[in-house]
Amino acid sequence: MKKDQLIMGMETSCDETAVAIIKNGREIVANVVASQIESHKRFGGVVPEIASRHHVEQITIVLEEAMNQAGIQMTDLDAIAVTEGPGLVGALLIGVNAAKALAFANNLPLVPVHHIAGHIYANRLVTEMMFPLLSLVVSGGHTELVYMKEHGHFEVIGETRDDAAGEAYDKVARTLNMPYPGGPHIDRMAHEGSPTIDLPRAWLEEGSYDFSFSGLKSAVINTVHNAEQRGEIIEPKDLAASFQESVIDVLVTKTLRAAKEYKVHQVLLAGGVAANKGLRAALEKSFSELSDIELVIPPLALCTDNAAMIGAAGSILFEKGKRADLALNANPGLDIDIYN
Amino acid sequence: MKILAIDTSNYALGVALADNDKILGEYITYSKKNHSIRIMPAIQTLMKDCDWKPADIEKIVVAKGPGSYTGVRIGVTIAKTMAWSLNVPLSGVSSLEVLASGAARYFDGLVAPLFDARRGQVYTALFKGEEGELKQIEKDQLAMMAEFAESLKNRKEQILFIGTDIHIHQQLIEEVLGDRALFAEMTEHNPRPSELALLGRNRPSEDIHSFVPNYIRLAEAEANWLEKNRKTKQG
Ligand SMILES: [Zn+2]
């Protein structure tokens, strides 16, 4: 009988210090996340130097908790998988160096993982992947459509040319005087309002799967500004609903079109914005009519940054022979197609 | 006791292996780049050359700053993680003390190690050698070089300044302290990881989980935030 594969995942690319243990690429044995969001709230966003400091404070605590949860020894592990990039360089460095120290101290293989590959593989903790598939990745730093013909192969067929969707949410939230992080507030307000304000949708050139949200963001800011100058009152809920509808309309339409064109079997939602209820509902509605494409949406805790997803991606990359040596560095601008 | 000493806090990237009263090996470079890429391979190479396996390590000593925030975090993260994983004690030593110790031990005056901290500032401290031991006279601090030099004016002893950044401040120091200021030879300007191992050998163990670098300074955003809150509280 084949022995179970146990991979430790480590993730410190932004403001969560996370360690997880994943069995056979699909089963969560331990999953610990120490979030710093309370610390960064007062600054209205993540401060890189402060994020790095918190990671150093948390790293061994989170490691120990994960090992205790799993009830295993380091010698039971097959490999250490760690987020190599993209992300904040100072934050990534803590995870990368801790992972290298662990790999060296315990003579374990080291597997570098792309953060977005991690987000996509969060889905494999929910259900087995069926190829070819398409993943819509939406987070504070990313808006991408990634096509996968097989495990470990990532082809970006569309990406944002300016702001990420999550970034646009945060900026619009700031315009509406909502506290950081703004996304959940906009999502909530959108459900209370109605999309009565006409806002643009950036479809870009015919056939493109790219995105652009800076025009929409500016349109929202201008709408608020012009109303103020005319002494009119705009209902923030309606503005939130209109903004959200515009974002979701573009995301869902392009995802649907790509899913059909690439004849995929599955569409996977990934990234922190996947927590958005409006987006989930709109995707579910659109894909319910397509019986030959399965839509997978992971639970909220697996959408935001975590290490279980890094362990899940690391499991496949480990099997494919992907390794790093002890000279592995943080790579804040890493491209996802390095694996192809 | 087999000690692994790690310093990535400033220009020097240093690793030393010490066993009781012997220094078995040192790996040192003095270029402030790619500490993150080079430190683990350096540890691996030196340990291989000295025939040590990770399980042989009985204690880890790390330079805990002050220094480059990123640099010192790399060393501290590796030291913490390895100490936790190998279940061995961890000690932290001031990066300034490591820099001062070699020269201070046999110098009959005061020793001021320093790292430049930009805009006229330095990370510095003051040490005195006493019977081969190092005594700290002034704590690790971030100071304006001009003010620190002024504060040394009333001391009677000669003061030896050490550090690769000395040339940035040498003229100012000479103007304030005249010929009571001495400047180390270029071979003394770099901290040695073997000194780190020696200094940390008998230091008490840190709590591994709560051990963090000595940054001296708050993060800029944090300092600004505190300042703003102080002002609003005062009305
Ligand atoms: Zn993420």
The full DSSP string for A212-255 is --HHHHHHHHHHHHHHHHHT----HHHHHHHHHHHHHHHHHHHH
pLDDT, average across residues A189-215? 94
How far does chain B reach from its first CA to its final CA, in angstroms?
Answer: 58
CB-based contact A307:A9 (threshold 8 Å): yes
DSSP-based three-state secondary structure for A73: coil
Q: How confident is the model at residue B103 (pLDDT cuts 50, 70, 90)?
A: confident
Domain-located, residue B229: no
Which residues of chain A form beta strands (DSSP E)? 6-11, 16-23, 27-35, 79-85, 110-114, 133-138, 143-148, 155-159, 266-270, 294-296
User: With the CA atoms of A56, B208, A95 and B11 taken in that order, what torsion angle do they form, in degrees rounded to the nearest 10?
Assistant: 70
For residue B129, what pLDDT is reported?
86
For residue A182, what pLDDT is reported?
87
Q: Which residues of B fall within a CB distance of 8 Å from A42?
A: 225
Q: B178 is in which domain, residue-wise?
A: 96-188
DSSP-based three-state secondary structure for B13: strand
Q: Checking phi first, is residue B3 left (phi over 0); if not, alpha (psi -120 to 50) or beta? A: beta
- Residue A105: which of B70, B86, B221 has the nearest Cβ? B86
Q: CA-CA distance, B155 to B136, in Å (whole number)? A: 15
pLDDT, average across residues B33-61? 97
Residue B45 is part of a domain; what is its CATH number?
Answer: 3.30.420.40
> Is A97–B74 a contact, with Cβ atoms under 8 angstroms apart?
yes
Q: CA-CA distance, B28 to B25, in Å (whole number)? A: 10
User: With the CA atoms of A99, A104, A109 and A111 taken in that order, what torsion angle do they form, in degrees rounded to the nearest 10?
Assistant: 30
For residue A260, what pLDDT is reported?
96
- Domain spanning A6-121+303-339: CATH superfamily: ATPase, nucleotide binding domain (3.30.420.40)
Q: How confident is the model at residue A340 (pLDDT cuts 50, 70, 90)?
A: low
Mean pLDDT of chain B: 94
Q: pLDDT at residue B235 above 70? A: no
- Same domain, yes or no: B90 and B195: yes
> Is A61–B76 a contact, with Cβ atoms under 8 angstroms apart?
no
pLDDT in tens, B148-170: 999 999 999 999 999 999 999 99
- Residue B219: which of A47, A106, A325 has the nearest Cβ? A47
What class is the A129-297 domain?
Answer: alpha beta
CB-based contact A213:A143 (threshold 8 Å): yes
Using a CB–CB cut-off of 8 Å, the residues of B that contact A are 34, 36-41, 43-44, 54, 69-70, 73-74, 76-78, 80-82, 84-86, 208-210, 212-213, 215, 219-222, 225
Mean pLDDT of chain A: 94
pLDDT in tens, A146-195: 999 999 999 999 999 999 998 899 899 998 888 888 889 999 999 999 99
pLDDT, average across residues A137-148? 93
Q: pLDDT at residue A57 above 80? A: yes
- Same domain, yes or no: B142 and B212: no
For residue B231, what pLDDT is reported?
81
Q: CA-CA distance, A156 to A28, in Å (whole number)? A: 28
Domain-located, residue B73: yes
Q: How confident is the model at residue B75 (pLDDT cuts 50, 70, 90)?
A: very high
pLDDT, average across residues B118-146? 93
pLDDT in tens, A272-318: 888 899 999 999 999 998 889 999 999 999 999 999 999 999 999 99
Pick from A153, A149, A142: nearest CA to A119? A142
Domain-located, residue B12: yes
What ipTM was reported for this prediction? Answer: 0.96
Which residues of chain B form beta strands (DSSP E)? 2-7, 13-19, 22-29, 59-63, 90-93, 110-116, 121-130, 133-144, 159-162, 181-183
What are the sequence ranges of the domains in chain A?
Answer: 6-121+303-339, 129-297
Using the Cβ of A100 and the Cβ atoms of chain B, whether some distance falls under 8 Å is answered with yes
Q: How confident is the model at residue A1 (pLDDT cuts 50, 70, 90)?
A: low
Pick from A131, A166, A196: nearest CA to A279? A166
- Same domain, yes or no: B195 and B85: yes
CB-based contact A5:A293 (threshold 8 Å): no
Q: pLDDT at residue B105 above 90? A: no
Using the Cβ of A94 and the Cβ atoms of chain B, whether some distance falls under 8 Å is answered with yes
Q: Ligand 1 centre and the CA of B8: distance in Å?
A: 29
For residue B116, what pLDDT is reported?
95
Helix-helix angle A165-175:A236-261, to 10 degrees: 170
A271 token code pair: 């990234």
Q: How many domains does chain B have?
A: 2
Q: CA-CA distance, B195 to B202, in Å (whole number)? A: 13
B222: nearest CA partner in chain A: A50
Q: Ligand 1 centre and the CA of A87: distance in Å?
A: 8
Q: Which residues of A fall within a CB distance of 8 Å from B220?
A: 49
For residue A141, what pLDDT is reported?
85
B110 token code pair: 């005061």
Touching B: A residues 45-84, CB under 8 Å: 47, 49-50, 52-53, 55-57, 59-61, 63-64, 74
- CA-based Rg of chain B, rounded to a whole angstrom? 18
- Same domain, yes or no: B155 and B205: no
- Same domain, yes or no: B121 and B202: no
